[in-house]
Structure 1
Amino acid sequence: MCTCEAEVFRTKYKQVGVDCPDRIVSVEENLARWEKMLDGTYAEGTAVVRLKTGMQAKNPAIRDHIIMRISEAPHPRIGTKCRVWPILDFSWGIDDHLIGVTHILRGLDLQKEGEVERMIWKMMGWPDREMILYGRLNFSSEYKLSKTYQRQKIQEGEFVGWEDPRTWSMQSLAKRGIQPEALRETLLDLGLSKRGIDFDKSWVYAKNTKLIDPQSDRIFFVQNPLKMHVTGIPFDHLVAKPLINPSLPEKGTREIPVPVEGGLLEVYIAKADLPAITVGNHIRLKDLFTIEVTTMGKEIQAKFFKKELEEHDEASKIQWVKVQDNIKVKILQPDGITTTGFAEKTLATMKQGAFAQFERYGYVRIIKKQKGSIQCYFIN
């Protein structure tokens, strides 16, 4: 039982490796002081129980380490019933023995706690345990893993709950469509290295892609859409037949009817494709036909060039969505950015909760279907 002031103990005894006066107090006096800790004679911070780990230990952090202290703050479950509480590493040492733990996996930052546990086991004559330490898995500020911050955003109504992708919680990963196997395989690949690792979400995304790709039908999607007018089309009606899933050609194709009125077709294309579009060059509207760009501007003008796609055709391929027949899409990303655009109408036939791959954008999950619009979460 030590009644030294904390700062005095640290500077006068602990740092220089000198025994404090209370170290030689008799057993009877120790027991009397223990009763005073329990009955309230000693106030919080005026007395502690120390383990005689040795004041000459090489690591100053474990010299006569505190194992019990007074706390008068109410406990969330038992209130003020108890006022003397064990320090974490002391309770670990007792619990790990009593419940029969054989292997302890613990962060490298808790190495000191492991040393204290081993001292307790040795003093009590208990068997040692296998203790495996691993380095920190570091997350950048991108992930915002603060529960306080996330709870505040939920209470303020900015986040829709713990399933909101911006929380990066386990609930949000599941809601987005990140498979448990992807997380498990990623962590197994990382192993238990003692070297700190900076986490990269691409590791999980790569694993997840392999798992969800077979069930993710392809969908045309244009982000930040621009209107394009195509004239001179020598057909009254066309049907685009893109593959449902190029990775599984046996699933066949989906059909996108394309009515043509007076040789004219209006489509949306993605703003991101503008660098590939210049007057006079040929562009392939994917799985439909090739056009020749005639005018650049707020709305792009083009004319029909050919329907057939030759084996060595070098025309750039771009996504497109019909102006008169599409569905509005909003995609919430983990960084909080909401992507908007138009998708082909096929998306409206898919069930809520289904996965899809928006070609040249990424994998998404349908979260909410409304009349004329669909809300998705970005997966990877």
Structure 2
Amino acid sequence: MKEDIQATHPHAFYTMIKEDCEHQVFHRPICTRFPPEPNGYLHIGSAYAIHMNASLAKVFDGEFHLRFDDTNPLKEDEAFVQAILQDIRWLGYDPGPHIYYGSDYAETIYEAALKLIERGAAYVCDLSAEDTAIYRGTLTESGKESPYRNRSVEENRQRFEAMRAGQYASGACVLRAKIDMASANMNMRDPILFRIIHASHYRTGDSWCIYSMYDFAHPIQDWIEGVTHSLCSIEFKDHRPLYEWVQEQLELAEPSRQREFGRLYLQDSVTSKRYLRQLVERGDVDGWDDPRLATVMGMRRRGYQASHIRQWVAEIGLIRHESVVDLHTLDHITRADLQGSTKGYMTILDPIKLIITNRDQHETEWLDIPFHTEHDVFGSRAMPFTRELFIEREDFMEVPEQGYRRLTLGGEVRLKGAYYVHCHHVVKDELTGNILELHCTYDPKTKSGSGFQGRKVKGTIHWVAASDAVPLEVRLYHSLLRSDAKFNEKEPDWSMLLNPHSLVTYKNAIAEGSLSRVESGERVQFVRHGYFIEDMKDSSSERKVYNRIVALKDSWKK
């Protein structure tokens, strides 16, 4: 296992940690962490971050911590905590026997703020949020010092204690670090450390009305837990000087080291928690677990397996900048596994009736048809061959196009595992002209497996006997976003961004009867259509719903 992980980490993080171990930089075990805020659900970028931290900790016989960054009572909830725990465990990563919470360190972080005040490195600022932004300056212009910046240590301590005591309204004032308003790094221009929020916290209730900012809490929490290497996504790179400043000001021994990896995006999909929430609240998708979303729960509902996702993120390796990855690589991994491990079933998405006119109405022949054409281990099942069958509507063309190899009027095909059939008549609706029935004859000499050596046919199509058909709803998924859409990050126009064909539903599909005996959670192949899994959220005893995981055709390119 270690060798496998090392092979996927031939990069700076592995080298850095290895050198730290050799030089005994830390007199404690190597420790990494994943600190999600419990205000939403994990997505594929989260899975990448978890893998990066957990696998590196494992290869160095270290610890991996899961810590909930829960210092904003307005957005966080226990339901998100439980969902995140479920996702991480489903992915196959062990958060350990102890789950950490940032809110548990509230008193320690408060004491750290008092220490900064005593050192003259923090002050209470009464500027409004709007004025604070103005005073901060721009990327090309230095900031301006707050008129409250030079309050005495005593006054700052008293005001900060009054903030904690609830003597100020929400937003009335904040505690800021005193660093450098002329810094080229905007994050170092007297950043906010604490703000006032009068709201009940899902864990601590009303014990606190001041809450630390992530940039202040982050380095303190890491140090308390013994985190040696704080691996973050790339947007925190400009925050690293502040991370180090906090640890230096607090004189923390053997301070944690922050380093950054690239942020992972999924092509033609959405990974931003804010945008995902918009899609859910607008009703554009079926909740956070919609199979079109790049959330972990959405990918699980679609039918991807945790082992496939772990392999995928491991093969991506270290990315140093923002990177867009293609879902086709995950599909390739999934398909390669499923093609040799699933049973195949006859399923008709858009049925059209086929009547065998030279067969008696009450005659039923049971055909033994293998579940897999290459693997005998799956065995076979008996399918009834009767006078009335169903085939795919697209498998018949009255006037065939060039190269069409399926059933045509006057043409002949093989029914998979059964006989040759010849279409001699078409029944149409008199008003619409739509085809209602196909009338065919079958040739008894051409039974599959009989060794028939006569004429050849160009095509083989699948079928289901009308007497054996079970109703089914089948869902096919495609990219959530249009490939040619231009994304405006400030105000995305979802009406122009969303792919109108991201979900194709066949509500009147049918399947052979043996599909009803498939165990819950079992992945199956629908002949010619791909690999599927039952949607446990929407299925009922009366009507099963199946989601397509991946199609049969592999479009992946190395």
The verdict on a shared fold, with TM-score over 0.5 as the criterion, is yes
1:122 Cα shift? 2.6
The answer to whether residue 263 in structure 2 is matched with residue 135 in structure 1 is yes
Q: For residue 256 of structure 1, what is the aligned residue in structure 2?
A: 383
Match of 1:262 in 2: none
What is the match of residue 280 of structure 1?
Answer: 410
Partner of 2:392 in structure 1? 270
In the TM superposition, what is the alpha-carbon distance from 1:248 to its structure 2 partner? Answer: 1.5
Counterpart selection for 1:364 from 532, 543, 551: 532
Instruction: Pick closer, same or farther for the CA change 1:309–1:351 going to 2, 3 Å.
Output: farther
In the alignment, structure 1 residue 55 sits paired with structure 2 residue 193: no
State the alpha-carbon separation in 2 of the partners of residues 341 and 40 from structure 1: 62
Query: Match of 1:74, SS?
Result: coil
CA RMSD of aligned residues (A): 3.5
The residue identity in structure 2 corresponding to 1:243 is P
Q: 1:109 matched to which residue of 2?
A: 235
Q: Give the superposition deviation at 1:42.
A: 4.2
**CA–CA separation in structure 2 for the residues paired with 1:342 and 1:27:** 76
Q: Secondary structure at the match of 1:82?
A: coil
| Structure 1 length-normalised TM | 0.81
1:27 aligns with 2:140: no
SS in 2 for 1:226: strand
For residue 289 of structure 1, report the CA deviation from its aligned partner.
Answer: 1.8
Secondary structure of 1:106's partner? Answer: strand
Choose which of 276, 284, 287 in structure 2 pairs with 1:146. 276
Q: Matched residue of 1:216: which SS? A: coil
- Paired residues of 2:193 and 2:215 also in contact (CA < 8 A): yes
Q: Which has the larger radius of gyration?
A: 1
- How much has 1:222 moved relative to structure 2? 1.4
Structure 2 stretches lacking a partner, 5+ long: 1-122, 398-405, 428-434, 478-501, 551-558
Report the Cα offset of residue 250 of structure 1.
4.4
Q: Give how far 1:95 is off.
A: 0.3
The answer to which of 286-295 and 216-225 deviates more is: 286-295
Confirm whether residue 184 of structure 1 aligns to residue 310 of structure 2. yes
Which whole-Å CA distance do the structure 1 matches of 2:270 and 2:195 have between them?
38
Q: 1:255 aligns to what SS in structure 2?
A: strand
Deviations 1:141-193 (A, max 9, x none): 6899735765897xxxx96x877757775445445542110111122222341
Aligned counterparts of 1:345 and 1:46: Cα–Cα separation in 2: 67
CA distance in 1, matches of 2:525, 2:135: 66
Q: 142-151 or 318-327: which moved more?
A: 142-151
2:519 to 323, 335, 351: 351
* Corresponding position of 1:302: 440
Q: Which residue of 1 aligns with 2:210?
A: 84
Give deviations 1:293-322, integer Å, cap 9, x for gaps: 223442112233550565994521111111
Structure (1/2) with the larger strand percentage: 1
**Matches of 2:212 and 2:290, distance apart in 1:** 38
Correspondence list, 1:196-275, <5 A: 196-198=322-324, 200-232=326-358, 238-258=365-385, 265-275=387-397
Question: Which amino acid in structure 2 is aligned with residue 364 of structure 1?
Answer: F
Please, which of 86, 97, 111 is the counterpart of residue 223 of structure 2? Answer: 97
Partner in structure 2 of residue 328 of structure 1? 471
What CA distance in whole angstroms lies between the structure 2 residues aligned with 1:163 and 1:12? 42
Q: Secondary structure at the match of 1:115?
A: helix
Displacement, 1:284? 1.4
TM-score when normalising by structure 2: 0.57
After superposition, the C-alpha distances for 1:309-368 in whole angstroms (9 at most, x for unaligned) are 659945211111112333222234566654232222222343344332110112223455
2:487 pairs with 1:319: no
Q: Which residue of 2 aligns with 1:379?
A: 549
- Distance in 1, matches of 2:202 and 2:263, equals 32
Q: Percent identity?
A: 24
Shift of the 7–98 alpha-carbon distance from structure 1 to 2, 3 Å rule, reads same
